[in-house]
Structure 1
Amino acid sequence: MKLSAELKSFQDRLGHVFARPDLLAQAVTHASMSSANRDDNQRLEFLGDRVLGLVMAEALLALDKAAAEGQLAPRFNALVRKETCADVAREIDLGAVLRLGRSEMLSGGRRKQALLGDGIEAVIAAVYLDAGFEVAKALILNLWGTRIHEVEEDARDAKTALQEWAQARGLPPPAYVEVARSGPDHAPVFTIAAQLETGESQQATAGSKRQAEQAAAGNLLSELEKTS
């Protein structure tokens, strides 16, 4: 299969030349353009999400060897959420090469956060299938760049981000409920649930209530992004 000039240019921006160009073509094909003879990128998106998650989990563990799970979870969520994926996609102008149906095209699909986020995950999967995990890992680390080192500051404010999400939809601020407490008095471990009035809830466990609340807020934000 021969790539168009636009996709060849995209390869340069991406930093990977495909041995199997059909994988790239599939990765940039939205479901609105699928047909019996043209696969869309939904299956690749599913795989790419998992590859991205593994790379980010490894990177965060290597970056902070003393961090507890309750500290790592909100950082992880901040790095893999749709907003971050879409930002990365915009930096390499993925929107310019997305193959969209007429309705998506007319509704501004090339700029939509969900389509861009899904698209970059599909591209990651295409690279993984084309060249293996280590190549995909190197590409992800390059594309995400300084975000990985700067994520602690961004993730620390997950509670504020969740409150803003609720307020934007006319909901009261989230509630934080202590679900469980374990461990000795000098080193307690808290499990906190972040809850919205509409019923959505996610839990997290950490060595302080503050860390557990932040992690629970990050987990709930991540879940809301998946279902929105």
Structure 2
Amino acid sequence: MKLSKHLIAFQARIGHEFAEPDLLVRAMTHGSIASDTRPDNQRLEFLGDRVLGLVIAETLMRDDRMADEGQLAPRFNALVRKETCADVAREIDLGAVLKLGKSEQVTGGRRKMALLGDGLEALLAAVYLDAGLQTARELILRLWGERISTVAVDARDPKTTLQEWAQARGMSPPDYHVAERSGPDHAPVFRVAAKLEDGREAEGRATSKRAAEQAAARALLEGLNHE
């Protein structure tokens, strides 16, 4: 299969030239444009999630031989979650080469976190099938870069951490509410407020409600740590 000039340039960006180019094409094919002759990337996404998990897990264990499961798990979750995969996808401009149906193109599919994260996982599977685990491992370590070495020692979900903080002090769980929703339907921006029972609160902004809640919880925790 002959690749388009955009996919050839994409290969250069990720540093891997496919021996089987059809794997790359499939990895970039979203269900909105798939057909009987053009399968989508869902099966590759399934495999890529496992390849990523294995590489990240073994790397964390190798880099910190004294850490127990309770310390490793939150770091692992922070590195493999969909938001992180989407961030990596943006850095290599994966959205530009996603093959999408018209409906997804119109609604900003190339910028959607879920589509970018899924596409990145499918890409990892394609590299694994094309060249083996070692090549996939090298790609992951290169793309994740300093994220692995700088992942917080306590990388728990900010909402979980804030809830535990409140409960340890006899408070009810924090309350979250959307203070504002702006932007077009295909690219909304949420402003969410996180509020404790004693009245302390902070806000966060993001392109999804969940991410905005996380940002608000993180901001409130930072404020509490400086009191």
Task: Determine the structure 2 residue equivalent to 1:71.
Answer: 71
1:114 has 2:75 as partner: no
Matched with 2:138 is 138
Q: How does 1:204-215 map to 2 (within 5 A)?
A: none
1:125 aligns with 2:125: yes
Question: 1:15 maps to which residue?
Answer: 15
Helix, strand or coil for the counterpart of 1:167?
strand
Kept in 1, the 8 Å contact 2:174–2:194? The answer is no
Does structure 1 residue 39 correspond to structure 2 residue 39?
yes
**In 2 relative to 1, CA 165–41 (structure 1 residues): closer, same or farther, beyond 3 Å?**
farther
Change (3 A) 1:93 1:168: farther
Partner AA of 2:35 in structure 1: S
Partner AA of 2:81 in structure 1: R
Which consecutive residues of structure 2, in runs of 5 or more, have no partner in the other structure? Answer: 164-172, 179-191, 196-227
> 1:152 offset after TM fit, Å?
2.0
| 3-state SS of paired residue (1:155) | coil
Following superposition, the deviation at residue 167 of structure 1 comes to 1.9
For residues 99-123 of structure 1, what are the alpha-carbon distances to aligned partners after superposition, in whole Å with 9 as ceiling and x for unaligned?
Answer: 0011111000000000000000000
Map of 1:53 onto structure 2: 53
Cα contact 2:85–2:120 (8 A) shared by 1:
yes
Secondary structure at 1:18 match in 2: coil
Change (3 A) 1:140 1:168: farther
**Is 1:96 aligned to 2:105, yes or no?**
no
Aligned counterpart, 1:204: none
SS at match of 1:37: coil
- Structure 1 residue 158 displacement after superposition: 3.6
Asked if structure 1 preserves the Cα contact closer than 8 Å seen for 2:19 and 2:130, the reply is yes
Find the aligned partners of 1:19 and 1:165 in 2 and give their Cα distance. 52
Rounded to whole Å, the distance in 1 between the matches of 2:12 and 2:37 is 27
1:74-116 superposed Cα distances (whole Å, 9 cap, x missing partner):
0000000011000000000000000001111100000000000
2 CA distance for matches of 1:105 and 1:128? 28
**Identity percentage of aligned residues:** 67
SS at structure 1 position matched to 2:95: helix
Change (3 A) 1:161 1:43: farther
Q: Which has the higher contact order (CA 8 A, sep 6+)?
A: 1
User: Normalising to structure 2: TM-score of the pair?
Assistant: 0.71
Distance of 1:135 and 1:40 partners within structure 2? 23
Task: Look up the SS of the partner of 2:26 in the other structure.
Answer: helix
Q: 1:167 aligns with which of 164, 176, 185?
A: 176
Residue type matched to 2:43 in 1? R
Cα distance in 2 for residues equivalent to 1:30 and 1:18: 19
CA separation in 1, counterparts of 2:54 and 2:66? Answer: 19
